Amino acid sequence: MAAGFGGPEQLRVEEVPLAEPGPGEVRVSVRAAGVNAYDAKVYAAGDPAKLPIRLGFEAAGVVSAVGDDVTGWSVGDEVIAFRASGAYASDLVVGDSALTSKPPALGWAEAAGVMLTGAAAWHTLEATGVSDGETVLVHGASGGVGLAAVQLARLRGARVIATAHPRNHDLLRELGVGPVAYGEGLLERVRALAPDGVDAALDLVGTDEAMDVSLALVADRSRIATIANFERAPREGVRLLGNGPGADAGTEIRDAARAELARLAGAGKLRVVVGATYALDDAADAHRQILTGHTTGKLVLLP
């Protein structure tokens, strides 16, 4: 949990009494918890009265206790919990509606990392209407949301051009994506790969370069979506998605995607790339890494 506002140095691991699930709740013995960039924003600044803050929004584990009025879940079930407050924990109590069955073939780390970024990626594709035969440009393709977005776009039958550091280009090619390096000359490089044009663009990094190139390539601004450029999106008339002022949270879209994301990941059709795992005691190190903005795939805590 975050004991104060600031940076990763504020993170602490504390022992608290094991909670019992109430009506409509389930207790989960956590095997892995996903780390996301948003987790670090929660304690960057705020009201001291809200401290300490329990962190984490997604986890995977085994049901260890079931409260009254819960149907469909039993002790021993392997589950994924998403929109689960305080997921950085060894044990977690959540409402039963936050659970999705974990496919047997999906590893714990992968299960803990599939939902938040996968749902965000799903939302961007729904919002921009990416479909079979189209060409989509994905900025920031090697992060957690980016890797999910390029794969989900490919499953829709789209051709994907994706920006990433050259060290991640081989990974993107494995996923059937055409990688390009960001930086000076990006617009020309994308045009060379897509001489017939780009139908939609997803900005997952929030840079001016990503916005400028998207605007130059996509004629219909409603088919440009950003989850990161909160300053320019309203001004440019592009879709602003996610958490933040003026953004479309897409809660219903994201929640509805959970079962399909689990199914695709369990069937090996959606690959969850785990960049690194950390012990729960080392959560601060995971946050230092994710704050660099140069993480490939997902970071996961293993309690």
Express each pLDDT in 92-151 by its tens digit: 999 999 999 999 999 999 999 999 999 999 999 999 999 999 999 999 999 999 999 999
pLDDT at 269: 98
Rounded to 5 degrees, φ, ψ at 126 are -65, -45
Rounded to 5 degrees, φ, ψ at 112 are -75, -15
Rounded to 5 degrees, φ, ψ at 261 are -60, -45
- The gap from C-alpha 43 to its chain's centroid, in whole angstroms, comes to 18
Q: Do domains 8-114+272-302 and 119-249 have the same CATH topology?
A: yes
* Interval 271-279 mean pLDDT: 97
Q: How far apart are CA 188 and CA 198, in angstroms?
A: 13
pLDDT at 107: 98
* Interval 217-240 mean pLDDT: 97
pLDDT band at 244 (very low <50, low <70, confident <90, very high): confident
Q: What is the pLDDT of residues 222-232, one digit of tens each?
A: 999 999 999 99
Rounded to 5 degrees, φ, ψ at 205 are -120, -30
What integer best gives the mean pLDDT of the chain? 97
Q: Which amino acid is at 213?
A: V
Question: Quick one: tokens of 215?
Answer: 């605007």
Query: How many CA atoms lie within 13 Å of 8's alpha carbon, on the beta-carbon side?
Result: 15
* Interval 211-218 mean pLDDT: 98
pLDDT band at 78 (very low <50, low <70, confident <90, very high): very high
With contact defined as beta carbons under 8 Å apart, do 261 and 97 qualify? no
Give which of 259, 273, 293, 260 is closest to 97, Cα–Cα.
259
Domain ranges of the chain: 8-114+272-302, 119-249
Q: What is the pLDDT of residues 18-45, one digit of tens each?
A: 989 999 999 999 999 999 999 999 999 9
* Interval 240-254 mean pLDDT: 95
> Is the pLDDT reported for residue 165 higher than 90?
yes
> pLDDT above 70 covers what percent of the chain?
100
> Is the pLDDT reported for residue 211 higher than 90?
yes
CATH number for the domain formed by residue range(s) 119-249: 3.90.180.10
pTM listed for this prediction: 0.95
Sequence-ordered alpha helix ranges (H) in the chain:
37-42, 108-113, 115-128, 144-155, 169-174, 186-193, 208-217, 233-236, 251-256, 258-266, 283-290
CATH number for the domain formed by residue range(s) 8-114+272-302: 3.90.180.10
